Amino acid sequence: RASLARRASQILRENDRGAYTVPTKGLYPFQWNWDSCLTALGFAAFDEDRAWREMETLFAHQWPDGMVPHIIFHQDDDGYFPGPDVWQTGRSVPTSGITQPAVAGFAARRIFERSKDKAASAARVRSLVQKIDRWHAFLYSARDPRGEGLVAIIHPWESGRDNAIDWDEPFQRVPSEGIAPYRRRDVDHADPAHRPTKEQYDRYLWLLEHFRRHEWDNEVLHDLSPFRVVDPGFNAILIRSCADLAALAEELGAKKVASANRARAKKGLKALERLWSERHGQYLCLDRTTESLIDSPSVGGLIAVFAAVSEARAGAIGARITEMAERCCYVVPSHDPADPRFDAKRYWRGPAWLIVNYLISDGLAAAGMDAVAETIRASSLQLIEKGGFAEYYDPLTGEPCGGDRFTWTAAMVLEFLR
C-alpha cells in the first residue's frame, strides 16, 4: 500500500508542469479540465498548496461567459491534434471552445473539508467558489436554454466519454463532409484499436468547425448543434457539484452562491428522473433533438448515483454493478458487457476507468451501500497492482489500455488508499 501510494505520488510529480498537470506525457500534453480537478484531490494528499494551484490555474482561463474550457493549451506541442490553430477561440492563452464535466465544486469542497490549514484554504477557496458558481450559471443557461433542469452537451468530448455507444445514434445526424483534411496524433501514442474510429473523429471535427464558424458564441451554439444530448453522468456530476458548492459557500458565508446552487441541485435532481429507464434499471441519455431516451446502457447512467438520487435508484444501480461484477472480472465497465456493442478495449465502449469507479463508489457509499462501494474499490486497486497506472483497463482481462503513467488514475489511487 505504501509503495502504491509512493508510485502514485511520483506520477503526479512527473506530470506536474508547475502550475498545472498534464494527463500523461505525449498523448495529452496540456491541461484538461476535469482531469485537473480530480488530480487536485491527489495532490491534496501530500501538497495542499499545489492542489489549490491546480484548480486556480484552470479557472484563470475561464471565459467571460462563464464557460471553463476543456483544454488549456499552455505551451506549443504539435504532438496533439486538434491544437489551438484548429480551435481558433481567440483567447490570449489558447483554449478549446467546449467544456467538460463540472467536477470542480465537488473537488473544492472535499479538499477544503480535509484541509489542515483551514484559514489559508478559506482564503484561496473563496475566489474559486465565485468562479465555479459562474460556470454552473453558464451551464444552466447556455446548455439548458429552456430551463428544464437538465443540461445538454453539444460535443461528445464534453461528456469526457468521447466515443461512448450513447453517441452512435445522435451521431448519425452529424455530417462529416467538407471538413478540412487532418492527421490524427492520438494514434501515434496509443494503440488505434483502443481509440475512437476515423468515422467518429470526422464528426468530432465537423462539430468543431461548425461551432468555429459561429465564433464560439455560446448564446447560439446549443440550438445550432445537430448534437444535443442530455447525459445523466454529466448532469449528476453537475448536480453534485452544485450541492457541494452550496455547502461550501454556506460555510464561507457566501449566501447568494449557496442558495443559487442549492436550488440548481434540487431542480436538477428532480429533472434527472426523466432519464430513468425501468427496463434497464439505470439512467439513460436523452437525445434532446428527438426528445427520446437512447437505448444504450452505459456507465453514464450509473455515474448518476454520484448525485444524491433516491435510495431506490441507488439500490438499483448497486444491483446492476453487483451483477456485472459477477459476469466480468473487473468493475465498472463503461458499457454493459451483455450488450453486443460492448468493446472491451476501445476507450469508452467497454473499458473500466478509475475516475468513474471513484465517482460511483463515492455515491454508493453516501447511499449506505458500502459493500458494492468496496467491491469497486478492491477491483480498482487490483487493476493497478496488475497493470500499473494506465488510462483505462479491459474489464474482462485487466489488461492496461490507452496511455500509461496516467495522472488522474494515480490521483484516484491516492483517494482509494485514504
Q: Which is nearer to ligand DGY, 135 or 157 (CB)?
A: 157
Min dist CB 188 to ligand DGY, Å, is: 12
How many residues form the binding site for ligand DGY (CB under 6 A)?
4
Residue 343 binding ligand DGY, by CB under 6 A = no
Q: Which is nearer to ligand DGY, 157 or 353 (CB)?
A: 157
> Which residues are designated catalytic?
162, 391
Site string for ligand DGY, 57-76 (x = CB under 6 A): -------------x------
Min dist CB 20 to ligand DGY, Å, is: 15
Min dist CB 32 to ligand DGY, Å, is: 6
Site for ligand DGY in 148-167 (CB under 6 A): 157, 162
Min dist CB 70 to ligand DGY, Å, is: 6
Min dist CB 22 to ligand DGY, Å, is: 13
Min dist CB 171 to ligand DGY, Å, is: 15
Q: Which is nearer to ligand DGY, 70 or 377 (CB)?
A: 70
Site for ligand DGY in 171-200 (CB under 6 A): 186
Q: Which is nearer to ligand DGY, 46 or 81 (CB)?
A: 81
Q: Which is nearer to ligand DGY, 133 or 186 (CB)?
A: 186
Please give, one letter per residue, the 3-state secondary structure of the chain.
CHHHHHHHHHHHHHCECCCCECCECCCECCEEHHHHHHHHHHHHCCCHHHHHHHHHHHHCCCCCCCCCCCEECCCCCCCCCCCHHHHCCCCCCCECCCCCCCCHHHHHHHHHHHCCCHHHHHHHHHHHHHHHHHHHHHHHHHCCCCCCCCCCECCHHHHCCCCCHHHHHHHCCCCCCCCCCCCCCHHHHCCHHHCCCHHHHHHHHHHHHHHHHCCCCHHHHHHHCCCCEECHHHHHHHHHHHHHHHHHHHHHCCHHHHHHHHHHHHHHHHHHHHHEECCCCEECCEECCCCEECCCCECHHHHHHHCCCCHHHHHHHHHHHHHHHHHCCCCCECECCCCCCCCCCCCCCCCECHHHHHHHHHHHHHCCCHHHHHHHHHHHHHHHHHHCCCCEECCCCCCEECCCCCHHHHHHHHHHCC
Q: Which is nearer to ligand DGY, 71 or 314 (CB)?
A: 71
Which chain residues interact with ligand DGY by CB under 6 A? Answer: 70, 157, 162, 186
